[in-house]
Amino acid sequence: MAHLLDEPLWRARAAAHEQRVDDAVADHIHRRDRGLKHPIDDFLFQYYTYKPSQLRVWHPGADAQLAGADERARWPFYRVVDGLASVDVEHFLARRRPVFDAARRVLRATLDRPMLLSCFGMHEWAMAYRTTPEEIRHTQLPLRLGHRGTDAVVEAHELRCTHFDAYRFFTPPAVPRNSAALQRDSQPDFEQPGCLHAGMDLYKWAHKLSPVVSSDLVMDFFELAREVRVLDMRASPYDVSALGHDPVQVETPEGKAEYVRAQREFAERARPLRVRLLEVVEQVADPLIAEVDRA
């Protein structure tokens, strides 16, 4: 049952959301407008390709009706009936059914699988394995241990990456060192909640499902992904001290323990958010999908 939001209330919520986004992306916009790069923060806008201007637009989610929002009749995936605007879930499903199907498979599989905490963030190291200075992903950052030292760390560990979208950036010599050969179509078979990138990808699924997913929830995922990304780069082979971050030295027993503690904490924080996102997919979309499939 959709809940009704009168115009003053929802416009206040929209304004609060815009301010929340503006505060979160101010530094990124400042750097972007001056052509400055940031290898940690830029990731959320380059890899996920959701622009700050898109993030700033407030959507109430699929379970709300907005009074006094006639302008949304011209917005994609909205409809206005009897003066009330709401997300047109049926239209969204007709256009984006594969996104719903993929999200449900990955979210459900990840939620039900126990977390694995033995990868120690080696995915970034595998992306730099046996590279030249010109070939590394973040050329503006030095490698903490140099190229030989980075290679030695990779060779001293078993690579246990479970996330395809990290694995696919491994250098060719690193690929056969992984414990499993990952593929896109087998992603639900390997994705697990201890993976940092699985946690960050909650933001990807949330914004891909916008406006069915509320913008408030999308921002919750964005803020989590930003924190996870910091750990991701602190545990990488790159020296991020110039960006104000101390390294997590995962090549040492102490660094491994620090990484696992943080990894577990992020997984525990991500779980209720993953549940909320899965509920949107299953409670909002699944009945309509079942109806379409029966037709």
pLDDT per residue over 12-30, tens digit each? 999 999 999 999 999 999 9
Beta strands in the chain (DSSP E): 3-5, 64-67, 78-81, 84-87
Distance between CA atoms of residues 126 and 171, nearest Å: 6
b (16+ CB within 10 A) / e for 229-264: bbbbbbbbbbebeebeeebbbbbeeebbebbbebbe
Question: Taking the CB of residue 58, how many other CB atoms lie within 10 A of it?
Answer: 21
- In 3-state terms the chain splits into helix, strand, coil percentages (rounded to 5) of 60, 5, 35
Q: How high is the pLDDT of residue 2?
A: 75
Mean pLDDT lowest for which of 44-53, 161-170, 235-244?
Answer: 44-53
Mean pLDDT score of the chain, rounded to an integer? 94
Q: Which residue is it, tokens 């545990």? A: 235
Q: How high is the pLDDT of residue 75?
A: 97
Amino acid at 21: V
Do 274 and 195 touch, CB atoms closer than 8 A?
A: no
Q: For 280, which DSSP code?
A: I
Q: How high is the pLDDT of residue 265?
A: 98
